[in-house]
Amino acid sequence: MTVLDDHIQAAQERYLAELMDLLRIPSVSADPRYKADVQRCAGAVGQRLTEAGLDAVEVIATAGHPIVYGEKIVDPAKPTVLVYGHYDVQPADPLELWTSPPFEPVVRDGRIYARGSADDKGQFYMHVKAVEAMLHHGGLPCNVKFMIEGEEEVGSVNLGPFVRANKERLRADVVLISDTAMLANDVPSINTGLRGLSYLEVEVTGPDRDLHSGVYGGAVTNPINALCEMIAGLHDADRRITIPGFYDAVRELSAAERQALAEAPFDEAAYMRDLTIGAVHGEKGYSTPERSSIRPTLDVNGIWGGYIGEGAKTVLPSKAYAKISMRLVPDQRSADITRLFQEHFVRMAPPGVTVVVRPHHGGEAVVTPITSEAYRAASMAMEETFGKRPIPTRGGGSIPIVALFEAELGLKTVLFGFGLDSDKIHSPDEHYGVFNYMMGIRTIPRFFHHYAALMNGKA
């Protein structure tokens, strides 16, 4: 591996420059104004795959944003790794809170600052460079397929149909994804679980027009007041969610499993300092790491209505809105939870308002095995480059496609993430460490070699 390491080290500046070029393309999937940029980014990713030496590269149109595919089949008898990632990014606003513009990447203090640097351009591009390096120095020990999509941040709605229609093309032995975080640069870890998601929007309607809040206030239900009371009623004093049936399917962890999770280092004081909060708060009976990974949640993501312009306007609004997400755990099913919410929320409406709940996207929670060849290969690879065996941890975010790969292709995933929770993904000043980027590029070839060797031993 040392020849390869030297080659990778020598190419650092080029790897960085190439990533910065990708980061300059504002591939914001949620906002239709960026549609042409998303398209352009897909083309750029396809070109990078070709330049890296991959075959059968294709930018595949969908009903939404394109999917980029490429492969290198060195020997059909050898195992195949399917690398998944996403080239789309979250919207960059609020723009004024960025130290430097989100789509003008810069390296500051050893970090690449740009929207998408850690989530997920910097992370999927490590695989492109790692495969390129292997192809130039000794070849690939097994086959690889790349599928890089452009709709992860908006729920991967068109990926399901694509996967179902392309089972043969996507045939593989394992899925490898770098789109999660480690505990710290000196505490490597591998995510062994992700939460599911149920996302919806609610609309509360009172009178058919905005009213004078003096003439009518007190006599007519105010939709914003009503929405706030309804939302407040969704948690009890123990911060448990009050939707009937919400916890019915939740798979509780055994004491041994919770004990194992508690062994991962966690500094609550540093956590609070980082977030500038004076206290942590959440479901009674669970620790902060548990609340943010193995427990289901309900959060308001946005709330609006009435007058929000300059100064004061005395108005009793006609409508109020909120966007609400629920993070789910095994074995809660997204469609079931969405329905439970919908039924409950409509029932909660006080007299004088009507409520409409509109489901957005969803996804299922996953737990990945730690005994598979692929997990062991990932663990060995990280142990070699970091000098420490990675700790298995459960993540709180969602990558809905992971459950889909299992259901449709029968494939397990290794969540081989090299980011940090402090990378500020989805926030202003998102960044990715140059150290993390280069460690990923050095560690991925080791995964391929260990994986091929372990699978060979099995055959």
| Distance set, CA 115 to CA 320, 350, 435 (Å) | 31, 42, 18
* SS3 label, residue 249: coil
Is 153 a residue that touches ligand BES (CB under 6 A)? yes
Residues 102-161 binding Mn ion (CB under 5 A) are: 119-120
**Cβ nearer to Mn ion, comparing 177 with 234:** 177
> Is the CB of 41 or the CB of 399 nearer to ligand BES?
399
The count of C-alpha atoms lying within 13 angstroms of the C-alpha of 58, restricted to the half-sphere facing its C-beta, is 9
Q: Answer whether 62's CB lies under 8 Å from 162's CB.
A: yes
Using DSSP's 3-state secondary structure scheme, residue 326 falls into strand
Neighbouring C-beta atoms of residue 250, cutoff 10 Å: 16
Q: Which is nearer to ligand BES, 72 or 86 (CB)?
A: 86
- Least separation in angstroms between residue 275's CB and ligand BES is 16
Comparison of 71 and 179: residue with beta carbon closer to ligand BES: 179
Partner whose binding site includes residue 151, from Mn ion, ligand BES, none (CB under 5 to 8 Å by kind): none
Given CA atoms 381, 385, 389, 390 in this order, what sign does their dihedral have? negative
CB closest to ligand BES, residue no: 397
Which residues in the 397-426 window bind ligand BES by CB under 6 A?
397-400
Nearest to 417 by CA among 135, 172, 184: 184
Given the residues 88, 119, 173, 423, select the one marked as catalytic: 88
* Amino acid residing at 246: F
SS3 labels along 398-449 = CCCHHHHHHHHHCCCEEECCCEEHHHCCCCCCCEEEHHHHHHHHHHHHHHHH
31 residue type, one letter? D
Tokens of 83: 């690398």
363 binds, among ligand BES, Mn ion, none (CB under 5 to 8 A by kind): ligand BES
How is residue 265 written in tokens? 């280092």
Q: List, in order, residues 6 or more apart from 130 with CB less than 8 Å away.
A: 8, 440, 441, 442, 444, 445, 448
Instruction: Kindly tell me which residue out of 68, 197, 200, 243 binds ligand BES, with binding defined by CB under 6 A.
Output: 197
Q: Which positions from 158 through 217 interact with Mn ion, judged by CB under 5 A?
A: 179
Of the two residues 66 and 317, which places its CB atom closer to Mn ion in the complex? 66
Say which entry of ligand BES, Mn ion, none residue 149 contacts (CB below 5 to 8 A, set by partner kind).
Answer: none
d(CA 187, CA 193): 18
Residue ranges in 322-361 that form contacts with ligand BES under rule CB under 6 A: 361
How many residues at the interface with Mn ion, by CB under 5 A?
A: 3
Residue 399: CB minimum distance to ligand BES, A? 5
Answer for which of 363, 390, 440, 445 binds ligand BES (CB under 6 A) is 363
Q: Which does 66 bind (CB under 5 to 8 A by kind): Mn ion, ligand BES, none?
A: none
Asked if 155 is part of the footprint of ligand BES (rule: CB under 6 A), the reply reads yes
440, 418 Cβ separation under 8 angstroms: yes
Q: Are 442 and 127 in contact (CB under 8 A)?
A: no
119 near ligand BES, judged by CB under 6 A: yes
Q: How far apart are the first and last CA of the chain?
A: 25
Q: Is 365 in the site for ligand BES (CB under 6 A)?
A: no
Q: Which residue type occupies 87?
A: Y
Verify whether residue 152 is a known catalytic residue.
Answer: yes
CB of 311 to ligand BES, least distance (A): 35
Strands (E), 121-177: 143-149, 174-177
CB of 64 or CB of 397, closer to ligand BES: 397
Tokens 């700790």 identify what position? 391
88 catalytic residue (yes or no): yes
326 beta partners: 198, 298
What is the closest distance, in whole angstroms, from the C-beta atom of residue 343 to ligand BES in the complex? 23
Among 149, 151, 152, 430, binds ligand BES (CB under 6 A): 152
Binding site partner of 292, from Mn ion, ligand BES, none, Cβ cut-off 5-8 A by kind: none
Among 71, 132, 149, 152, the active-site one is 152
Contacts to ligand BES by CB under 6 A: 119-120, 152-153, 155, 179-181, 194, 197, 361, 363, 395, 397-400
- Note the residues at the interface with Mn ion (CB under 5 A): 119-120, 179
Enumerate the active-site residues: 88, 152
